[in-house]
Structure 1
Amino acid sequence: MAIDVVVNQRHLQIQLKQLETVWHTVINGYNLSQAAQVLHTSQSSLSKHISALENQLKAEVFVRQGKRLTGLTPVGEALLPHIESIFTEIRTIENISLDYNNPHTGTLTLATTHTQARYVLPDIIKKFKEQYPKVQLVLQQADPQTIANMVIRGQADIGIATEALLQNSYLRCYRYYDWSHRVIVPKDHELAELETIDLPTLASYPLVTYHGGFTGRGAIDQTFHEAGLEPEIVLAALDADVISTYVGAGLGVGIIAEMAFEQGHYQNLTAIPVDHFGRFTSWIAVRDDAEIRHFGKAFIKLCQQQFGN
């Protein structure tokens, strides 16, 4: 976005470039050098924009340690939601223009977890690219809270994750699909013939499952804790492929998301349904006060059709 507009009020003369500098500095972790790269300008130019804005406001926007920016002052914290709203509206106007002039060309950025990207979205992305071959898809992987922040700050057009997305009023969420966990063991394991496994039995084996904060790990820990059980987690990983590999190697009994079990890839393993840890919902989120491009809406529609929503 090329922005060179001055807002004149009785006491202030603020350039949108100054507000843009604040916004990009925040979303780039207060790293002026990185923000300058994104904006295709120099670090010194951004510093001048910040100084000019602070002079206008007669207050510092950023907390500083020497020459480094480390956070927002109370004034900066109060300004940020309004700055984000301004650029949300600018993006919406830009999207309207792009949809009118170049409806089948552009970039769609998706922020999602590894599980969604690896096991759920490949078919959707293939169908989408068949419909919109000139749209560049950018797939960014993160934890659910980071995904929510990326959508809120305009770093991603669409976020896909579990319930964490529902906890933010800035987001508009669409139900994607429901899922639960599976226990996986080698086919020659003593548990392999069971139709289900009770919690005490499961807790008596060394376990291999997800890292904290990913794919329902919090619910797994809470369920064991509430049952007065303390299982031994011998390995925690972000990726169900890693979990499956180490279960196959005999390290322990695995707990993974049901959609992540691929029998064709791990023919030496078997999956056992369990409902101890509850049902989960994956959600699709966009920023509530902004409109994404029409091909983004088409992507969401494809996702909803995938599971008959």
Structure 2
Amino acid sequence: MNLTQLRSAREVALQDFNLGRAARRLNASQPGITRHIQLLEADLGVAIFARSGRRLTGLTPAGRALMPLAERMLDTHHQMQGVARDYATGASGEITVATMHAHARYILPGPIANFVQDFPLVRLRLRQGSRADVIRWLSCGEADFSLSSVPEGAFSDLQFHHCYDVHRVVLTPKGHPLTNCKRLTLEDLVQYPIITYDHLLQVWEVAGHELERRGLRPNFVLSAVDADIMKTYVRSGLGIGIISNIAYDSEMDADLEALDARHLFWTAPVQVGVRRHDKLSPHALHLVGLFAPAVQRALQLGGRSLTT
């Protein structure tokens, strides 16, 4: 069994089992195509095509089971050639990644540094915005892939692959009274001025009636879109911070404590988004593999989504 035989079998199936048309498409002779099929069937030990006399009429049950595997082998061979060519030539190009600030700031720097070292001729562009912005850029073809949490709704033209989860932590200076709590409660938090993201204010507003029923009145002294700014004001003693866990670095932020608050706030799945009927370039796949190897493997195996 070889790739030439697989190509001949695939083309015959694509041409409605017409040997003449398949031969013309492959720039081969009809007897040559027939010989390829005979050798392939002999090697596999089963008939792939049903016959009426010398005429091929369709796929046998074995053929229907084997043809998708042949397609996958041929596609994999084509992808291998493309990847090898790009690695060999150091091909130039451009990759645009649509993402949100936190992922651009805390997740992507290391992978991007490694990528640029390997492929200095490929230009990278980061487009940062809200979740809605990210999905719009991807859907319109203004980005090759996205990295973000996904807004609610159906996106028939897009496909999403789970990458990692993000939860909330409460940030305090070292020695803060909250660090003595075994399990934080909302009652604990509202005793102190709160610094948080702009979009989290909406979450508190939605829960406002329940907070009021429990006699809780949070004091939001500052909101921002940048966790580094919030950390600055926590350090200054303005209040406690509610930030994403990926924004806390135990070494860089050694003067601060990050207290687990995933039981108080939702956990957000972060996903790599691609357009459903497009294939990522080898370089884009390589970049995805630097921060999400499982997603890279899923995309290489035909783009079957982990989350749709």
The answer to whether 1:187 aligns with 2:166 is no
- Determine the structure 1 residue equivalent to 2:286: 298
What is the identity, as a one-letter code, of the residue corresponding to 2:242? I
> What is the distance in 1 between the residues matched to 2:208 and 2:90?
51
The higher radius of gyration belongs to 2
> What is the distance in 1 between the residues matched to 2:239 and 2:272?
33
Which of 236, 245, 261 is equivalent to 2:232?
245
Deviation digits for residues 66-104 of structure 1, max 9, x if unmatched? xxxxxxxxxxxxxxxxxxxxxxxxxxxxx99x9799773
> What is the distance in 2 between the residues matched to 1:218 and 1:104?
46
Matches within 5 A, 1:208-287: 208-212=195-199, 218-219=202-203, 221-222=205-206, 226-228=210-212, 229-274=216-261, 275-287=263-275
8 Å contact kept, 2:135–2:150: no
Percent same amino acid among aligned pairs?
30
The answer to whether 1:107 aligns with 2:94 is yes
Number of positions where the alignment pairs a residue of Structure 1 with one of Structure 2: 211
The offset of 1:134, in angstroms, is 1.6
Which of 192, 199, 202 is equivalent to 2:186?
199
8 Å contact kept, 1:208–1:234: yes
Structure 2 residues not aligned, in runs of 5+: 1-81, 298-308
- Determine the structure 1 residue equivalent to 2:103: 116
The offset of 1:282, in angstroms, is 0.7
- Determine the structure 2 residue equivalent to 1:289: 277
What is the identity, as a one-letter code, of the residue corresponding to 2:117? E
SS of corresponding position for 1:276:
coil
8 Å contact kept, 2:99–2:126: yes
Q: How does the TM-score come out when normalised to structure 1? A: 0.61
- Determine the structure 1 residue equivalent to 2:115: 128
Deviation digits for residues 210-259 of structure 1, max 9, x if unmatched? 112xxx66545545654444412111111110011101111111000011
What is the identity, as a one-letter code, of the residue corresponding to 1:147? V
8 Å contact kept, 1:108–1:138: yes
The offset of 1:155, in angstroms, is 1.3
8 Å contact kept, 1:194–1:272: no
The answer to whether 1:151 aligns with 2:138 is yes
Q: How does the TM-score come out when normalised to structure 2? A: 0.61
- Determine the structure 2 residue equivalent to 1:78: none
8 Å contact kept, 1:183–1:255: yes
